[in-house]
Amino acid sequence: MAEEKKAPEKPVKKVEEKPKKAAKPKKGNDAKLKELKIELLKSPTKKKRIKKEIARILTELKTQNKSEESK
């Protein structure tokens, strides 16, 4: 039987790891807060839901800041 010809294996190039950047605060929450505050002024009928959403975002940011301080 004929032997199969294999292509010579090329050495695998190692990927260098980039140094991690410092964690930046998420801008998404800040923008969301501004939108919710504007919406609260425009439509007082949704007041309860909007206030709950604002409180949720603020507590999320607060816990995030505490975890960063403890590191």
Question: Which pair of structure tokens corresponds to residue 58?
Answer: 């603020």
Q: How far apart are CA 25 and CA 28, in angstroms?
A: 9
**What residues contact residue 51 under an 8 Å CB cut-off, 6+ apart?**
40
The verdict on pTM exceeding 0.95 is: no
- Per-residue pLDDT tens over the stretch 6-59: 666 777 777 677 777 666 555 677 788 888 888 888 887 888 888 899 899 889
Q: What pLDDT is stored for residue 2 in this prediction? A: 56
